Amino acid sequence: MSARMKDIAVDLGVSLMTVSKALRSHKDIGEKTRALVVQRARELGYRPNWIARSLVTQRTDLVGLVVPDLMHSFFAEVVTGVAKRLEPLNYHVVIANSNEDVVSEARQVELLVARKCDGIILASAQPAARGESIRILEEHKTPYVLVDRRPRGLEAHYVGVKNEEIGVLATSHLIERGCRRIAHIRGPEIPTGVGRLTGYRSALNQHRMKFRPDYVVTGQHSDAAGYQAMRELLRLRPLPDGVFCYNDPVAAGAMKAILEVGLRVPGDIAVIGAGNVHYSDLLRVPLSTIDQSSSLIGETAAELLLECLNSKNTGPFRSVFIEPRLIVRESSFSG
Amino acid sequence: MSARMKDIAVDLGVSLMTVSKALRSHKDIGEKTRALVVQRARELGYRPNWIARSLVTQRTDLVGLVVPDLMHSFFAEVVTGVAKRLEPLNYHVVIANSNEDVVSEARQVELLVARKCDGIILASAQPAARGESIRILEEHKTPYVLVDRRPRGLEAHYVGVKNEEIGVLATSHLIERGCRRIAHIRGPEIPTGVGRLTGYRSALNQHRMKFRPDYVVTGQHSDAAGYQAMRELLRLRPLPDGVFCYNDPVAAGAMKAILEVGLRVPGDIAVIGAGNVHYSDLLRVPLSTIDQSSSLIGETAAELLLECLNSKNTGPFRSVFIEPRLIVRESSFSG
DNA sequence: CTGAAAGCGCTAACAG
DNA sequence: CTGTTAGCGCTTTCAG
C-alpha cells in the first residue's frame, strides 16, 4: 500500500488536515509548513487517492465516451479530439465500444454512470429517439453530449455535421463535374445515413435529374460493405458514371470493386466519399471527399460537455454543426 | 442525487447490509428478501456507486492504456483488442495519449496511478530502460504490461512483435523478388525502430549484399514523414529499386512520393511496409506488408494483465511475441 | 493559521 | 439468514 496523508501527518507530527490543505495549496497554510509537507510527500512517493477524493467531492474527472466502432478512423479521430481538449484539465477519457449494438450501448452507459463519470459523450447506435441508453442518462441526470448520430426528435446537446448538406455537396459536385448517372451507396438507417441520402436526392432534384431507386444500394459502414455494394451497382445497365458513398471506407471499398473489373476511376466512374479520413489521399486513387473535421467534432463535444459541467443551471440545449467542406482529389477530377 | 442503498433499506424496513448483500446475490440472503430488494432497486433506478465500492474493495475495474498516438491505426487496433477482452469482465479502459512524449507519458501514468487503475498497459515512448513512467509504476506496485515498445533491458511483462524478424522478412522478400538496391526508411530511436533496422541489415548480410548507409533514412511514424524521407531517397543515384518502410503509414507516404515523380510501384521501386493496417489493401498500390496482428497484441496484453490481477504472487515476467507474417500485395509483386 | 469532528456510500468481519 | 460495528482515504465544516 502506498503512502497516505496520514503517514505524512504522523511523520511530520502535524495533523492530517494540515497535510490535506498544504497539498492542495489551500490559502491558510503557512509557507514553510507547506514546503515541509510537500517535500515529505515527494520523499514518500505520495499520490493522492483519487477514489477517496471523488467520494467526497462528488466528481471523478472522468468522461465516458461511447462509440460504435473504434477501428473506424472517424471515431478514432473523435476520441483523439475529445482527449486533446480534456487532458490538459486532468480529465480522463473512459472508452466504451458499443459495436453498433443498442443493447451493448445501454449496458456501457449504465456502467459509466455507475462509475460516476462526470459526463458522457455518446455516438449512439440508437436509431429511434430516447433509447434505453438515453433513459439511463436522464434518470441519473448525468450531463451528456451526443456526437455524430442524433436519435430523431431528441432534445439534447449535439455536435455533428450537416448530413443533408454533405449529400448535396457531394452529389452536386459529381453533377457539375459532368456525371449524368449518379448512384449512391447509402449508409444504415440512422440519421447520418438518412441525411446523406436525403441530400443526394435533393441535389438530383435541384438539377432536374431523375432519381432512380435502383441506383441506391445499401452499404453500411465498412470498406467490405462498400465493396459488395459496388459490385451490385456494377451489374446495372446503364452503368452509373458517378457514385457518392456514405463514407470514406465505403468509398475505398467501392473503388476497389471498380478497379478490379478493369474500369477506371474517375474515367469510367467518378467516386466521392465523406469524412476525409486521414489516409484518403493515399488510396489507389486519391479520394475526393467531404471533410467533416472529425477531430474538431470531438473537441467541440468536449467543449460543450465542459460547459455543462461548469455551470449548474442547465442552459438550453445546444447543437453545433460543423460545416462540411468539399475536397476534390483525383477520384472525381477532370472529365 | 440518485438512490442509495440506504434509501432502499429504509424504504423496505430492512437493514442496509441486507440490501448490500441481496444486490450482490450474496448467498446468505433469503430468496424472497432478495427479490423484494432487487425490485425496489429497479423501481428507484438504483445503480451501485462504484466509487464508494472501490474505496473499500481496493479495486476499480479500471485499466489504464497509454499510447503514443491514437490516430495511428495500429494503436487504435490495440485499443480495440484490449477493450474487446476486458469489456465482458466489466472492466473499463481509460485511455491516455502521450503524444510520443516522455514527459507527458509520465504525467499520464501518474494520474492513472492516482486513479487507482487496477493495472496499466503501456506503449512507451521511452527509449531507455526505466524511465520516469516505469519508476512510478514500480513505486506503486501497479501491475503493468508493456506493449509494442519495450524499453531496452527492462524486465517486465511484454507483448509485442519480433521486430528484427519483421525486418528480415520484409527485406528478404524484396531480395527474393529481385531487388538489388534496397533502401530502408527507418523509424525512430526506439526498440521497434532499431529492431526493424537490425533485421534489415542482417537480411542484407545473409544475402551477401552490401549495406549502404545512404540508403537508410529516418522517417518517424507518419505518412507525412514517409513522404519526406522518400523524397530524399529519390535524389540518390543509383536509385533504390526496393524500399522497406518502418510501418504502413510511412510506406503509404513513400508510395505517394514515388508515384508523384512518375515512377511506378512496383515496376521501378517495390515497396513494403509493416503493420498491415486495415486500409493497406485500399492504397494506391495495394501495399505489401508484414502483419503483426495488432488487435491480437491488445487482446494478449489484456490477457496477461488479467493474470497479474488475478494472482497474488507475481509470477516470472512473461514476454509474448506475436509471430510476424509476410503479406504480399501488388506493391512488391512480380518483376 | 491549525486541528477535531463528521461523513461521502459502500463492504468485511463478525455477532445475533 | 439478518444486523451491528468499523473503516476505506479523503474533504468539508466549524472551533480553537
Confidence of residue A149 (pLDDT cuts 50, 70, 90): confident
SS3 label, residue B279 = coil
DSSP A117: -
- In this predicted structure, the answer to whether residue B334 has a pLDDT above a threshold of 70 is no
End-to-end CA distance of chain B: 70
SS3 label, residue A97 = strand
Model pLDDT for residues B223-259, shown as the tens digit of each residue: 999 999 999 999 999 999 999 999 999 999 999 999 9
Phi, psi of A157, rounded to the nearest 5 degrees: -65, 140
Output A24 or A297, whichever has higher pLDDT. A297
- Residue A296, C-alpha cell as written in the block: 474538431
Tell me the CA–C1' distance in angstroms for A128 and D1. Answer: 46
Q: What's the mean pLDDT when you consider all of chain A? A: 91
Closest CA to B119 of B109, B132, B107: B109
Which pLDDT value is given to residue A33? 81
Residues B299-303 have a mean pLDDT of 96
CA atoms of A163 and A165, how far apart (whole Å): 5
Which pLDDT value is given to residue B152? 72
Interfacial A residues in 53-82 facing B (CB < 8 Å): 54-55, 60, 62, 70-71, 73, 76-77, 79-80
Closest CA to A64 of A17, A133, A3, A113: A113
Task: Write down the H helix ranges in A87-131.
Answer: 102-114
Nearest chain B Cα to A58, which residue?
B51
DSSP A141: T
- In this predicted structure, the answer to whether residue B35 has a pLDDT above a threshold of 70 is yes
Residues A215/A233, Cβ–Cβ less than 8 Å: yes
Interfacial A residues in 115-134 facing B (CB < 8 Å): 115-116
CA atoms of B92 and B87, how far apart (whole Å): 6
Measuring CA to CA, how many Å separate B205 from each of A188, B208, B210? 53, 5, 7
- Residue A41, C-alpha cell as written in the block: 510527500
HSE-CB at A147 with a 13 A cutoff on CA atoms is 32
Output B159 or A21, whichever has higher pLDDT. B159
CA atoms of A90 and B107, how far apart (whole Å): 10
Q: How far is CA A299 from the centre of its chain?
A: 10
Task: Write down the H helix ranges in chain B.
Answer: 5-12, 16-23, 31-44, 50-57, 73-86, 102-114, 132-139, 163-176, 191-206, 223-234, 248-260, 294-310
Q: Before A191, cis peptide (omega within 30)? A: no
Q: Which of A62, A76, A255 sits opposite B70 (nearest CB)?
A: A76
Which pLDDT value is given to residue A32? 79
| Closest C1' nucleotide to B27's CA | D1
Which pLDDT value is given to residue B50? 93
Residues A191-204 have a mean pLDDT of 95
Distance from CA of B222 to the nearest CA of A (A): 11
Which pLDDT value is given to residue A1? 57
DSSP A288: B
Asked if B265 is an interface residue toward chain A (Cβ–Cβ < 8 A), one would say no
Q: Which of A51, A114, A286 sits opposite B116 (nearest CB)?
A: A51
End-to-end CA distance of chain A: 70
Query: From the Cβ of B48, is strand C under 7 Å away?
Result: yes
Nearest chain A Cα to B110, which residue?
A47
| Closest C1' nucleotide to A53's CA | D10
CA atoms of A275 and A324, how far apart (whole Å): 9
CA atoms of B324 and B292, how far apart (whole Å): 5
Query: From the Cβ of B10, is strand C under 7 Å away?
Result: no
Output B219 or A250, whichever has higher pLDDT. A250
* Cβ-based neighbour number of residue B118 at 10 Å: 19
Strand A242-245 vs strand A270-272: parallel, antiparallel, or unpaired?
A: parallel
CA atoms of A329 and A319, how far apart (whole Å): 31
Q: With beta carbons under 8 A apart, name residues in chain A contacting B273.
A: none
Tell me the CA–C1' distance in angstroms for B63 and D3. Answer: 36
Distance from CA of A187 to the nearest CA of B (A): 19
| Closest C1' nucleotide to A32's CA | C1
| Closest C1' nucleotide to A17's CA | C3
Query: Between vectors from CA A196 to CA A195 and to CA A197, what angle results, nearest 5°?
Result: 90
SS3 label, residue A109 = helix
Distance from CA of B70 to the nearest CA of A (A): 6
Residues B231/B199, Cβ–Cβ less than 8 Å: no
Sign of CA dihedral B324, B329, B332, B335: positive
SS3 label, residue A270 = strand
DSSP string, A203-223: HHHHTT----GGGEEE--SSH
Confidence of residue A90 (pLDDT cuts 50, 70, 90): very high
DSSP A275: B
Residues 26-45 of A with CB under 7 A from strand C: 28-31, 33
Model pLDDT for residues A286-312, shown as the tens digit of each residue: 899 999 989 999 999 999 999 999 886
Residues A82/B72, Cβ–Cβ less than 8 Å: no
Query: From the Cβ of A6, is strand D under 7 Å away?
Result: yes
CA atoms of B137 and A171, how far apart (whole Å): 54
Query: From the Cβ of A37, is strand D under 7 Å away?
Result: no
* Cβ-based neighbour number of residue A203 at 10 Å: 23
Which pLDDT value is given to residue A73? 81
DSSP B312: S
Output A112 or B45, whichever has higher pLDDT. A112
CA atoms of A255 and A260, how far apart (whole Å): 8
Measuring CA to CA, how many Å separate A21 from each of A53, B33, B156, B271? 13, 45, 37, 60
Strand residues in A103-215 grouped as ranges (E): 119-122, 144-147, 157-161, 182-186
Model pLDDT for residues B81-126, shown as the tens digit of each residue: 999 999 999 999 999 999 999 999 999 999 999 999 999 999 988 7
CA atoms of A141 and A67, how far apart (whole Å): 20
How large a percentage of chain B has pLDDT more than 70?
97
Measuring CA to CA, how many Å separate A128 from each of A120, A124, A125, A189, B278? 19, 10, 9, 10, 31
CA atoms of B184 and B202, how far apart (whole Å): 13
How large a percentage of chain A has pLDDT more than 70?
97
Sign of CA dihedral B47, B51, B57, B61: positive
State whether B110 and A283 contact (CB < 8 Å): no
Query: Under 8 Å CB-to-CB from B88, ≥6 apart: which residues?
Result: none
Which pLDDT value is given to residue B26? 75
Q: What's the mean pLDDT when you consider all of chain B? A: 91
Which pLDDT value is given to residue A335? 47
Interfacial B residues in 283-302 facing A (CB < 8 Å): 283-286
Output A62 or B311, whichever has higher pLDDT. A62
| Closest C1' nucleotide to A49's CA | D9
- Residue A102, C-alpha cell as written in the block: 443498442
State whether B73 and A73 contact (CB < 8 Å): yes
Q: Which range (A96-105, A151-160, A237-246) has the least confidence?
A: A151-160
Closest CA to B13 of B31, B51, B40: B40
CA atoms of B41 and B334, how far apart (whole Å): 67
For residue B157, what is the enclosing H or E element?
Answer: strand B157-161
Task: Write down the H helix ranges in B150-270.
Answer: 163-176, 191-206, 223-234, 248-260
Query: Between vectors from CA A313 to CA A311 and to CA A314, what angle results, nearest 5°?
Result: 95
Nearest chain B Cα to A91, which residue?
B111
CA atoms of A293 and A78, how far apart (whole Å): 9
- In this predicted structure, the answer to whether residue A229 has a pLDDT above a threshold of 70 is yes
**Chain D: bases < 7 Å from a protein Cβ:** 1-5, 7-13
Q: What are the CB-based long-range contacts (under 8 Å, 24+) for A303-307?
A: A303/A85, A304/A145, A304/A157, A304/A159, A305/A63, A305/A119, A305/A121, A305/A143, A305/A144, A305/A145, A305/A157, A306/A85, A306/A86, A306/A89
Model pLDDT for residues B177-222, shown as the tens digit of each residue: 999 999 999 999 988 899 999 999 999 999 999 999 999 999 888 8
State whether B83 and A97 contact (CB < 8 Å): yes
How large a percentage of chain B has pLDDT more than 90?
65
CA atoms of B278 and B294, how far apart (whole Å): 10
Tell me the CA–C1' distance in angstroms for A17 and C4. Answer: 9
- In this predicted structure, the answer to whether residue B71 has a pLDDT above a threshold of 60 is yes
Closest CA to A127 of A146, A164, A102: A102
Query: From the Cβ of A23, is strand D under 7 Å away?
Result: yes
